[in-house]
Amino acid sequence: MTDLLSRLIQVDTTNPPGNETAAAELLRDYLQTNGLQCELYARVPERANLVARISGRGEGPSLLFLGHTDVVLADPAEWSVPPFSGTVTQDEVWGRGALDMKGHVAANAVAIASLAREGFEPAGDLIFAATADEEVGDDFGLSWLCSEHPDAIRCDYAVNEGGGDPLRVGGDPYWIVATAEKLTAPFNVRVHGRSGHASMPGIADNALVKAARLVERIAAYRPEPQIQLEVEVFLRALLGELPPPGDVVARARERDATVAELIEPLLAPTFAPTMISASRKRNVIPALCEIVVDCRLLPGQTPAEIEPVVRGILGTDIPYDLEFLKAEGGTRSSLETPLWSAVESFVAELEPGALPVPVICAGFTDSHWLREAFGTVAYGFFPYRTMTPELAATLIHSADERVPVSDLELGVDWLRHAAHAVCG
Ligand SMILES: [Zn+2]
């Protein structure tokens, strides 16, 4: 695995432009040598996705080990080793993608290859996918596979990135599983006025000044907290009971400040004004001002449902136009599934008394495409314990990204456990 990961890191798949085909071919060669059927799917020749499988015996459930092969930019000047060297030390592999997520991809490959060598005969297909273009999302990767080659990638269950962090609360062990994600639903607010020379503001109607009042209203808004299913399961595991929605953050903070931070954005939609544009000239009072708001809804909420809330926040005294932009994400997977049971039995074996806890990702992951296309139960779970969550968070998309070999071994153990538990 160390050697495979080192070679995978040496293939520069910085996205853009990606060039994931070289990584897909490297993985194909490794998997074919281990007896797997492999197929490349590419919208353009240099950006291939690899799908490999152990075909199932019959009608049983299928399971996908999902990973992306593209990585984000690395500036060699910030690094202690060249970022695409794949340097192997005594107990770590260094390089761009070691954590996000070529390490996980290498573990996926090693897990399915070991099962193939042992003659594992899954009930349904056991599938491996190494996809392109997760970091930018221009439809070369999983979204494209789901729409253009659904039969290659359709699955009942999937394990992806996005969880697996150990959480220690007052000495009690919990493991985070990403089972849902918020819906990114940005919107524009346009405020109109009347232009004029900036030397005589009294004769104009400044759209920027009016928009500033709307920005303040959005920032001051405190939505009513509500408890989603995932948060309920999380709180019951953590507190042994379910407090009223208004007390959740305070009760969580009593146990652990980090947990309170984690839970707060999962209780309600969030509204963050992030962009504003008005006059292009200093001496012209703008007749139009446009605000862009990054808005994240809870899974299940729709922009149509939230529009009256937004209009309530903005008020009626300043006329404006409101336009929701393209929304993305917002899917969830059930928690009463064989894959959840597999996570439970794995963490119980790993650490006596440990419990998995579900979280709603505040961002977007490729799990969304599978849930949306096939109703797949997709969880982000790749456990690690040698590296601390605090260190991992500072290394992802940053300099000196590296992964302990022992954590990759733990990941392989988990993937093999999941395969036996879900489609054995
Ligand atoms: Zn990633």
Residue 389: what residue type?
P
Does residue 364 register a pLDDT over 90?
no
Residue 47: what residue type?
R
Q: Residue 158 has which token pair? A: 């999937």
Q: Which residue has the tokens 């006059």?
A: 279
The pLDDT-based confidence of 109 (bands split at 50, 70, 90) is: very high
**114 CA distance to ligand 1 centroid (A)?**
24
**400 CA distance to ligand 1 centroid (A)?**
16
DSSP code of 316?
S
**210 CA distance to ligand 1 centroid (A)?**
40
Mean pLDDT of 12-26: 98
Mean of per-residue pLDDT scores for the chain: 96
d(CA 404, CA 85): 16
**363 CA distance to ligand 1 centroid (A)?**
11
**361 CA distance to ligand 1 centroid (A)?**
13
Mean pLDDT of 281-303: 96
**71 CA distance to ligand 1 centroid (A)?**
8
Each residue of 253-288: pLDDT tens digit?
Answer: 999 998 999 899 999 999 999 999 999 999 999 999
**362 CA distance to ligand 1 centroid (A)?**
14
**366 CA distance to ligand 1 centroid (A)?**
9
Residue 259: what residue type?
V
Q: What share of the chain is helix, strand, coil (3-state, %, to 5)?
A: 40, 25, 40
Query: 345 by DSSP, 3-state: which?
Result: helix
The pLDDT-based confidence of 418 (bands split at 50, 70, 90) is: very high
d(CA 410, CA 414): 6
**32 CA distance to ligand 1 centroid (A)?**
25
DSSP 186-246: -EEEEEE-B-EETT-GGGSB-HHHHHHHHHHHHHH--PPP---HHHHHHHHHHHSS---GG
**193 CA distance to ligand 1 centroid (A)?**
44
Q: What angle do CA 410, 71, 84 make, to 5 degrees?
A: 85
Mean pLDDT of 210-238: 96
Residue 398: what residue type?
S
Each residue of 29-87: pLDDT tens digit?
Answer: 999 999 999 999 999 999 999 999 999 998 899 999 999 999 999 999 999 999 999 99
What was the pLDDT predicted at 170?
A: 86
Does residue 362 register a pLDDT over 90?
no
- Give residue 277's Cα distance to chain centre: 30
Contact 68, 101 (CB under 8 A): yes
The pLDDT-based confidence of 363 (bands split at 50, 70, 90) is: confident
Does residue 410 register a pLDDT over 90?
yes
Contact 64, 157 (CB under 8 A): yes
**43 CA distance to ligand 1 centroid (A)?**
20
What was the pLDDT predicted at 145?
A: 98
What was the pLDDT predicted at 248?
A: 96
Contact 179, 332 (CB under 8 A): yes
What was the pLDDT predicted at 196?
A: 94
Confidence (pTM): 0.92
**413 CA distance to ligand 1 centroid (A)?**
20
What was the pLDDT predicted at 174?
A: 96
Does residue 193 register a pLDDT over 90?
yes
Mean pLDDT of 334-343: 98
d(CA 247, CA 252): 9
**67 CA distance to ligand 1 centroid (A)?**
8
What was the pLDDT predicted at 59?
A: 85
Mean pLDDT of 378-403: 96
What was the pLDDT predicted at 216?
A: 98
d(CA 90, CA 287): 64
**72 CA distance to ligand 1 centroid (A)?**
9
**97 CA distance to ligand 1 centroid (A)?**
8
**131 CA distance to ligand 1 centroid (A)?**
11
**282 CA distance to ligand 1 centroid (A)?**
42
**291 CA distance to ligand 1 centroid (A)?**
30
**68 CA distance to ligand 1 centroid (A)?**
7
Contacts of 379 (CB under 8 A, 6+ apart): 158, 159, 160, 163, 177, 178, 179, 333, 339, 340, 343, 367
Q: Residue 145 has which token pair? A: 């596979």
Q: Residue 95 has which token pair? A: 């390089």
- Give residue 123's Cα distance to chain centre: 29
**414 CA distance to ligand 1 centroid (A)?**
19
